[in-house]
Structure 1
Amino acid sequence: MVTVTLGKTGITVNKNGFGALPIQRISKEDAAYLLRKAYDNGINFFDTARQYSDSEEKVGYAFKGIRDKLYISTKTASTTVEGFWDDLHTSLKNLQTDYVDILQFHNPDFCPKPGDGTGLYEAMLKAKEQGKIRHISITNHRLHVAMEAIESDLYDTLQFPFCYLASEKDIEIVNACKEHNMGFIAMKALSGGLITNSAAAYAFEAQYDNVLPIWGVQREKELDEFLSYIDNPPVMTEDLSSFIAKERETLSGSFCRGCGYCMPTCPAHIKIDDCARMSLLLRRSPSAGHLTPESQAMMAKIEDCIHCGNCMKKCPYGLNTPDLLAENYKDYKEVLAGKPL
């Protein structure tokens, strides 16, 4: 069994982590079945978030009575101290526990630090002193925020998008975490559903001994693939390497990381960082929350795109943003019409 240690946390777990965002889409009993099956077969790291609707509740329900035998990470997206404590207390209640192993700031547009005026980092420290959390961490989609968090040495782990569509800049983030003895948790290891070859995905992540990929799972057959890799982990072969090279040519232009570099200067006022990921969101989370009148109005703004090129110039990943927006809007309208993606 291949394991990974999350930097200075000392947490050592199976190289497969369980990403609990997709279990929002299935019943409580089905979610508990998947979570327990994962645990019973060797997976011992489970990642959820306050914003993932009922995901925390399902995790808490599944692991009642065995909490001390596994690791749970969750997240708060609050930007106020009051909201932070509300989120933490709700998370503890939902998870049926008195502590979480890792609490992460959920994709903030800045790096919280002591003395920055928000009080957020100080709240984390107080929660740690009270024993409610064991490690202070952060998730992000923005390269500059991620690097600032790493270089600050204030955080125990970083969760960041990392898959075989990664750029050299992404790999620099992984290596910087290793240099700072900071754990690296790879979100979107399947690129939000774009990647369908799990063996290739696993083999890519396995090349980095400090990386813990968390696989978003909602079906038993998906879980079974990753469980099979515990005893027979895929390794990078010439065939897999060739396959990944072809995939990068085909898919790289379709993966928006939601980093926000292109915002907020869109002259058409398109919320690009949300709209350009809508197809992925519809595939990986409950669609109802994305089909509200507000969301429909947000997506309809894509029709106002004037193709000025500003977003493309600012994208650190070289995406053809207008084309990507058009593709996402097409998918969105199909879902509105009742057609599955």
Structure 2
Amino acid sequence: MRDVTLGSTGITVPQNGFGALPLQRIGEDEAVALVRAAFSGGMRYFDTARAYSNSEHRVGLALEGVRERAFVATKTMARTPEAFWADLEKSLAELRTDYIDVHQFHCVDQAYAPGDGTGMYECMQEAKAQGKVRHIGVTAHKLEVAFDCVRSGLYEVLQFPLSYLSGPRERELVEECRRANVGFVAMKGLAGGLIADSRAAMAFMSQFDNVLPIWGVQRESELAEWLSYMDDTPSMDEGLRTFVERERVELAGDFCRGCGYCMPCPQGIVINQCARMALMLRRAPSSAWLTEQWQRAMGDTRRCTECRACTARCPYDLDVPSLLRKNREDYERVLAAGGA
């Protein structure tokens, strides 16, 4: 497996990063063991966030004793200087460290800059001057915001969704980062669960020598797959290329990635699952999606008032009420037919 250098940061790690968001869904001992196994297996870049409840705490526990040999990235959802400093001190304490390798503004709607009136970028500059932050990063879901961040020349690392379902504009963003010497960290490499073939996902990422994917890991079996690619890295051969093209055709057009930024719904609708339910059923038929719980959840979509609060928050500009309606109709047809 190749090493990737994150732009001007000089951080060089295997092209196989650990996404720590799922750690909050499992027990602490299991989570700590998973991170330690990832480190032992060769992973060196660990990405978490203040917003991921206990994920920072668990990463900190797991990397105690090997902190200097790992790179830790975290994020702040703060939108005021006061909240920024509170988040930073909490992150340092939970991660059991006195510095963060890459500190990122989390899911921004603008490219913070000095003098913009928010004071946010100045906070990052001061934290870096104090040695508490080594490199300034940003995560975004909106393409034009991401381009603004890269072109500003103010950010050393950009984190953005990228998978083999991404379009040409996302690939342009990868090249923009290359030209600007900005590190590119790829989140949602499995498109929120729509991609089920890890080998194809890794082969896609391996085509880019400036992209570091972070894989959300929750189980030992998942980690074993990613670690197996350390010595046997898949390449985009003809068979995988054909498979990927077939996947793109199947998922062409608008689809929900399941990111959850549309939530919460005033009507209590589980939008980030219900708006893609038909895809999940078609791609991975499973009784798990046909339980009474999910039947109730899909029935709840009838409560949609089309207030469009969700569409205003959707980073992909999807017509969410329309998606909910179409997915409910498909779901009901599957139920009427007796299952997937």
Q: TM-score, normalised by structure 1?
A: 0.81
Matched AA of 2:215 = W
Separation of aligned partners in 1, 2:273 and 2:258: 11
Matched AA of 2:112 = P
SS at match of 1:213: strand
Separation of aligned partners in 2, 1:168 and 1:195: 18
Q: How many residues align?
A: 308
Q: Percent identity?
A: 48
> Is 1:247 matched with 2:251?
no
**CA distance 1:192–1:258, shift in 2 (3 Å):** closer
CA-based RMSD of the aligned residues comes to 3.4
SS at match of 2:102: strand
Matched AA of 1:324 = L
**CA distance 1:327–1:8, shift in 2 (3 Å):** farther
Alignment of 1:74-89 (within 5 A): 74-89=74-89
8 Å CA contact 1:185, 1:211 repeated in 2: yes
> Is 1:67 matched with 2:67?
yes
**CA distance 1:318–1:91, shift in 2 (3 Å):** closer
> Is 1:110 matched with 2:110?
yes
> Is 1:324 matched with 2:323?
yes
8 Å CA contact 1:13, 1:44 repeated in 2: yes
1:248 Cα shift?
Answer: 1.4
SS at match of 2:184: strand
In the alignment, what sits opposite 1:11? 11
Cα-to-partner distance string for 1:230-275 (whole Å, 9 max, x where unaligned): 0010000111111111111223443347698xx9xxxxx9789x96
> Is 1:215 matched with 2:215?
yes
**CA distance 1:316–1:50, shift in 2 (3 Å):** closer
**CA distance 1:125–1:318, shift in 2 (3 Å):** closer
Separation of aligned partners in 2, 1:329 and 1:24: 30
Cα-to-partner distance string for 1:134-166 (whole Å, 9 max, x where unaligned): 000100000111000000010000000000100
Separation of aligned partners in 2, 1:330 and 1:26: 34
1:57 Cα shift?
Answer: 0.3
8 Å CA contact 1:167, 1:317 repeated in 2: no
In the alignment, what sits opposite 1:166? 166
In the alignment, what sits opposite 1:46? 46
Cα-to-partner distance string for 1:94-123 (whole Å, 9 max, x where unaligned): 000000000000011111110011100000
8 Å CA contact 2:101, 2:133 repeated in 1: yes
In the alignment, what sits opposite 1:182? 182
Bigger mean CA deviation after superposition, 94-103 or 299-308: 299-308
In the alignment, what sits opposite 1:277? 272
Matched AA of 1:17 = G
Q: Unaligned stretches of 5+ in structure 1?
A: 264-268, 284-295, 332-341
Matched AA of 1:122 = E
Separation of aligned partners in 2, 1:329 and 1:56: 37
8 Å CA contact 1:270, 1:301 repeated in 2: no
8 Å CA contact 2:186, 2:214 repeated in 1: yes
**CA distance 1:316–1:217, shift in 2 (3 Å):** closer
In the alignment, what sits opposite 1:99? 99
In the alignment, what sits opposite 1:266? none
Separation of aligned partners in 2, 1:279 and 1:304: 12
In the alignment, what sits opposite 1:203? 203
Separation of aligned partners in 2, 1:49 and 1:6: 19
